Structure 1
């Protein structure tokens, strides 16, 4: 009850759109029976959270997390939770709300996500569901109530697996540098070896178990070797997860007939610095903004188009494309 009330009462300000104008989502309710929902998919490390934030600065949106590990409190480094700074004031739901040992099933997710989406819509905002737990996403989309009430636009960020594997391995190194080992140590319990439930399922926790159990009895050289073995295992399991998630997404597209708007971000990951940011804007954010703009405008009355056009700040690299898509 507490979580339900909290989500429905949440009134964090949504980032301003161009010239301080606000896009009233009610204009999209004319002549339609289903509320609009954007779903951002992709394997771990592809930039789903980044894209969701970028979209939420162009449209008045709130984000609903669908990552089964990020729903728990704690282990922010291990679970790659988006930071407050990275959220840029965009309201987030189902992020860090559960105690670490609680069970959280796909059914639980459907119930809570449906409530969150309903609350977001009630405020006239666009719900953006984002996360790597595709089984949760599938359960939600297959839910009869959700299917009857919402129309979904699916965005999928793709990165070539060899390139993505290299990136997530480098990301693990950064996580280690940022204090991942110490963070996991706070969760370590010599009497608790059950890694099948709660946040302890997260990649990075079970892999360090052997290291924590033996480190105080080992000399420095052996201890370092054992830690490196654990890190290599974390990298390997993360790469396997990325592959499984990619396969799952392909399966959903083929078996369920989901119309995925696929955005190839491989070139972004091959660049660095400003070039990478420019490629992200051109290859991912710009096309996504056009897709979402079309998704929202398709059912709007023609008279509402000009009103909304002034309220949407298009991506720098695709202003003319969005204008063409609208008109």
Structure 2
């Protein structure tokens, strides 16, 4: 069965969620299972550059799944929600024409809303849509987000920021430089370059920068969650909430190796796989419930289907538009 072209309207799956909730992991797993391709909806990751700071999936993590609108915009360019709407709609059309399932995944809900509701809601009216919301209890999400920042530091965040640093007059309102992790490093990198601060002072400035990165990440996650909650109430948005809190709880408890993966498979992957399977089998769109349901558990086997790929997206040239500074 061509998963993107069952009877009725073409079907598109969205994976929503705040930063650090595991959207990319789930989107890639769904693409493997249902012969799909991932369309990036993160307004920072659409730019080329700083892969550690922007938490881009690696080639290994992609598992051979084609990705669209990832690292295709010049680092200094703006890329508006309207530009995203046009490019993403084109990517969806190409994936569907190949008989595959488009999976739109990312934390920039301004982009996602522009795609779904822009141009008179043309996209929503032309497609059957399923939205999977990967969510977690705030305290544990922030604990995990902080741990992820620590991991980014270990993988080379400082060196990546140093390589991207362009001096005292750096503009952090455009392009990839809006990414959390670059503005916060500015004062430290200026002091380091001037050479006047001692080792202890530099260490204190770096600690302060890391704290700011974490605090701004928490603030972003809260804003993203609130925006998804608002979108869930819109007409035509069939949003299904999947709770990843138990996965973070297992990590926080320091369980045996593999315990958190087993929890993810049982409480996140299996219900998500079942939801998408049922969605693809439907011939008409099921009206969304009045409130957002939370999926607790479900059955299902996680088989792998997809192996084919399509031509990669061409790079988008620098320039154009007034990109909003928010990353929600």
Provide TM-score, normalisation by structure 1.
0.83
Q: 1:255, 1:145 → 2: CA distance?
A: 15
Within-5 A mapping of 1:126-165: 126-143=101-118, 144-165=121-142
State whether residues 66 and 137 of structure 1, in contact with CA within 8 Å, keep that contact through their aligned partners in structure 2: yes
Q: CA deviation at 1:57?
A: 1.6
Match of 2:93 in 1: 118
Q: Does 1:289 align with 2:273?
A: yes
**1:90–1:102 CA distance, 2 compared to 1 (3 A):** same
Residues 119/320 of structure 1: CA separation in 2 closer, same or farther (3 Å cut): closer
Change (3 A) 1:242 1:195: same
Tell me: CA distance 1:213–1:55, structure 2 relative to 1, closer, same or farther (3 Å): same
Match of 1:238 in 2: 217
| Unpaired stretches in structure 2, ≥5 consecutive residues | 252-256, 285-297, 304-328
Equivalent residue number for residue 172 of structure 1: 149
RMSD, matched Cα: 1.8
Q: 1:299 to 1:261 in 2, by over 3 A?
A: same
In structure 2, distance between residues paired with 1:130 and 1:138: 12
Query: Alpha-carbon deviations, 1:176-222, whole Å to 9, x = none?
Result: 11000110111111153211110000000000100011122211011
Tell which deviates more after alignment, 71-80 or 210-219.
210-219
Aligned match for 2:187, one of 210, 228, 237: 210
- Give, in whole Å, the separation in 1 of the partners of 2:199 and 2:226: 41
What is the distance in 1 between the residues matched to 2:145 and 2:236? 29
1:279 to 243, 247, 263: 263
Cα 1:40–1:26 change in 2 (3 A) is closer
Question: Counterpart of 2:300 in 1: which secondary structure?
Answer: helix
Task: Name which of structure 1's ranges 113-122 and 247-256 shifts more when overlaid on structure 2.
Answer: 247-256
Equivalent runs, 1:1-327 vs 2, <5 Å: 23-25=1-3, 28=6, 30=7, 32=8, 34-143=9-118, 144-190=121-167, 192-215=169-192, 216-256=195-235, 258-272=237-251, 273-299=257-283, 318-319=299-300
Structure 1, unmatched stretches of 5+, are 1-22, 301-316, 323-327
- Asked if 1 retains the 8 angstrom alpha-carbon contact of 2:250 and 2:259, the reply is yes
Q: Which has the higher contact order (CA 8 A, sep 6+)?
A: 2
Name 1:19's counterpart in structure 2.
none
SS in 2 for 1:271: helix
- Offset of 1:254 from its aligned partner? 2.5
CA distance in 2, matches of 1:256, 1:227: 46
Match of 1:13 in 2: none
Equivalent-residue separation in structure 1 for 2:51 and 2:258 (angstroms): 27
Q: Any idea what SS the aligned residue of 1:287 has?
A: helix
Residues 201 and 158 of structure 1: CA distance in aligned 2, closer, same or farther (over 3 Å)? same
Name the SS of the counterpart of 1:254 in structure 2: coil
Contact 2:5 / 2:99 at 8 angstroms: preserved in 1? no
Q: How far did 1:258 drift?
A: 2.3
- Note the C-alpha offset of 1:259: 2.3
Q: Is the 8 A contact 2:270 2:301 kept in 1?
A: no
Aligned residues: 281
Equivalent residue number for residue 315 of structure 2 = none
Q: Is the 8 A contact 1:39 1:155 kept in 2?
A: yes
